[in-house]
């Protein structure tokens, strides 16, 4: 029986990206900026020449994260994973469901608009089995555009997710969940895991955007992610997400309540073949307790993650 060491941390967190997404429990405030510059009409020397009509200016929205003070906001996250296996020329599917309940509570905002507060990982279940047996609290400092500046306690959450990832990998590598892991993530500085949390926070545009305009963010796993403001109506902004990278294709959307300045919902669907490659690499390095059982390599994996405000 092999014992995993620190060199496997990176592989585990690439796997975690595929199997689990950390939520971004932040809020966004839109600040409408109306471009109302009037064109100066020049008098024409020819009386019969009419002045050209003014062109209607597009309404732009300055989206930035807002941190409502002393208001705890609750979310439910559902993560549905479906694997496809090729068994004797037939396609066999396996499903896995994870539910998490989380909340955010910000306590201060500095002069630059950076918010400081807490993210609470309250409780969760994976296929009916309890995870996060105790509430985990992460202290964070975030910029208005969604950058994780500082954190404390994130290593505790990472340690819990590592257990969930290990259980998820046992579907592919029999007995994997019984391998003792000599990785004490609680000893690792919290800021080490900021990029992991950052991967799941929607970046907001640096400049005001009109409906139809796009902004981009590079991601080391999914390549460049493209965001589009699809529409703004009824006090809400609707954002579309898309990426196509080396680890698959992602399509998603998010809804901002522009009046309250909070995320109402977000959903992402990822289709990837990377899970199979990761399983193969890990299986070569780790000796499974169940040697008699074959390793199950998924041909395709679909992960659907949705997060909804609990009102």
Whether residue 39 lies inside any domain: the answer is no
Whether residue 49 lies inside any domain: the answer is no
What one-character DSSP code corresponds to residue 186? Answer: G
With beta carbons less than 8 A apart as the criterion, state whether 165 and 141 touch: no
In which domain, by residue range, is 270 found?
Answer: 6-34+54-309
- In b/e form, how buried is each residue of 21-57, taking b as 16+ CB within 10 angstroms? bbbbbbbbbbeeeeeeeeeeeeeeeeeeeeeeeeeee
Quick one: CA torsion of 240, 96, 88, 86, rounded to 10 degrees?
Answer: 20
**pLDDT tens across the length of the chain (311 residues):** 333 444 444 444 444 444 443 332 222 232 323 222 222 223 333 344 455 555 567 899 988 888 989 899 999 999 999 999 887 778 888 888 999 999 999 999 999 999 999 999 998 888 888 887 789 999 999 998 889 999 999 998 888 888 778 878 888 888 877 777 677 788 889 999 898 788 777 888 889 999 999 999 876 555 788 999 999 998 899 999 998 877 788 999 999 888 777 888 999 999 988 778 878 777 777 666 666 677 888 888 999 999 999 97
Whether residue 259 lies inside any domain: the answer is yes
Whether residue 41 lies inside any domain: the answer is no
Report the CATH number that the domain containing residue 265 is assigned in CATH. 2.30.230
With beta carbons less than 8 A apart as the criterion, state whether 169 and 176 touch: yes
Provide the number of structural domains found in the chain: 1
CA distances from 108 to 77, 105, 117, 149, 247 (A): 26, 10, 7, 14, 38
Whether residue 48 lies inside any domain: the answer is no
Whether residue 44 lies inside any domain: the answer is no
With beta carbons less than 8 A apart as the criterion, state whether 250 and 241 touch: yes
CA distances from 133 to 46, 122, 208 (A): 82, 9, 42
The Cβ of residue 207 has, within 10 Å, a number of other Cβ atoms equal to: 9
Contacts (Cβ under 8 Å, ≥6 apart) of 165: 12, 15, 16, 19, 20
Q: CA 278, CA 245: separation in Å to the nearest integer?
A: 16
3-state class (DSSP) for residue 21: coil
Contacts (Cβ under 8 Å, ≥6 apart) of 105: 70, 71, 72, 73, 117, 118, 120
Q: pTM to 2 decimals?
A: 0.75
């Amino acid at each position: 029986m092999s014992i995993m060491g620190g060199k496997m941390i990176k592989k585990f967190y690439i796997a975690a990206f595929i199997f689990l997404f950390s939520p971004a429990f932040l809020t966004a405030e839109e600040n409408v900026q109306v471009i109302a510059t009037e064109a100066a009409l020049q008098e024409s020397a020819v009386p019969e020449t009419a002045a050209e009509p003014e062109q209607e200016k597009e309404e732009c929205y300055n989206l930035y994260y807002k941190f409502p003070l002393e208001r705890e906001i609750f979310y439910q996250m559902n993560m549905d994973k479906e694997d496809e296996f090729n068994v004797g020329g037939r396609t066999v599917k396996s499903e896995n469901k994870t539910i998490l309940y989380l909340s955010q509570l910000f306590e201060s905002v500095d002069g630059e608009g950076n918010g400081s507060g807490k993210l609470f990982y309250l409780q969760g279940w994976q296929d009916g089995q309890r995870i996060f047996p105790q509430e985990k609290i992460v202290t964070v400092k975030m910029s208005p555009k969604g950058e994780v500046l500082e954190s404390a306690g994130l290593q505790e959450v990472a340690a819990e997710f590592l257990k969930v990832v290990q259980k998820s990998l046992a579907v592919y590598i029999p007995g994997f969940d019984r391998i003792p892991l000599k990785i004490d993530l609680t000893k690792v500085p919290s800021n080490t895991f900021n990029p992991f949390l950052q991967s799941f926070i929607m970046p907001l545009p640096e400049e005001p955007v009109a409906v139809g305009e796009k902004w981009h963010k590079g991601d080391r796993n999914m390549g460049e992610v493209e965001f589009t403001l699809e529409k703004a109506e009824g006090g809400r902004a609707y954002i579309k997400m898309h990426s196509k990278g080396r680890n698959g294709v992602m399509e998603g959307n998010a809804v901002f309540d522009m009046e309250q300045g909070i995320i109402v919902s977000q959903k992402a669907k990822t289709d990837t073949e990377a899970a199979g490659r990761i399983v193969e690499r890990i299986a070569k390095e780790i000796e499974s307790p169940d040697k008699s059982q074959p390793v199950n390599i998924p041909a395709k994996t679909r992960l659907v993650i949705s997060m909804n405000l609990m009102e």
